[in-house]
Amino acid sequence: MTVPKADADTKRVLQGLAHGNASVRLRAALAVGTRPAPQCVEPLIERCATEPEFSVREMLTWALTRHPSALTVPGLVGELRSTRAQARSQALHTLSKIGDRRAWPAITRALLTDADDEVARSAWRAAVVLVPEGEQAALATVLATQLGRGDRGTRLSLGRALVALGEVITPALRAAMTDPDPRVRAHAVATRRLRHDPDAGFEYSIEEARRVVALGGTGQEA
């Protein structure tokens, strides 16, 4: 039986997603996003879990955002249970770009505290986008448990996520400023200063916070 031209073209493009050349994969993802088709959703999601190139992953995410969220969100939510860290991270990233709050129940505490920094960072960003009205304070409390975690990039991601929640973060930051761990205290102080003076920059804020903590202060007077 002759395959309809549209189906043959789609099959050819989808095969390009697994090509050995990253440029070919990038063009294939662009083509899928330019001409969305329901049968492309599952292959796009599957490729997100294994694609090694950042630029291609971003194009895969863009292609998924071009499809109806009713088709993409269920599959992406399913990926959040994957044992593969990249699958979880990229699914969270894509859900944050889609912005469909029906995905919110899938943003669990386990993901927000995931041992993999990239997964956790993606979960923080997705949570801030998807959190329903009235649940920001509870989210801030969970995010505050991660203060002091990771390298500069991880701390900056968490600081930005907390700042994006607004005034509701104040009680959680105040509590963290008295934490026995100086890394937690410094991160909390830096995040508070970043909220009040975004132009100061996170690097300046964290260094100032470290000085405050080293001198025995909490930064609550700042």
pLDDT means per 10 residues, the chain with 222 residues, are 57 92 96 94 97 98 98 98 98 98 98 98 98 97 97 93 96 95 93 80 55 54 42
Task: Report residue 52 as tokens.
Answer: 């090694």
What pLDDT, on the 0 to 100 scale, is given for residue 1?
Answer: 36
Q: Which of 180, 179, 177, 161 is nearest to 212 (CA)?
A: 177
Distance of CA 27 to the CA centre of its chain: 24
| Cα-only R_g, the chain | 20
What pLDDT, on the 0 to 100 scale, is given for residue 4?
Answer: 44
What pLDDT, on the 0 to 100 scale, is given for residue 222?
Answer: 39
What pLDDT, on the 0 to 100 scale, is given for residue 202?
Answer: 56
Which residues, other chains included, contact 7 with Cβ-Cβ below 8 Å and sequence gap of 6+? none
The answer to whether the beta carbons of residues 115 and 147 sit under 8 Å apart is no
Task: Report residue 94 as tokens.
Answer: 């894509």
As a whole number of angstroms, the distance between CA 95 and CA 119 comes to 13
* Dihedral sign, Cα of residue 66, residue 44, residue 158, residue 180: positive
Helices (H), the chain: 5-16, 22-34, 41-48, 54-65, 69-79, 85-98, 109-112, 117-130, 136-144, 152-164, 170-176, 182-196, 202-214
Q: Which of 63, 81, 72 is nearest to 102 (CA)?
A: 72
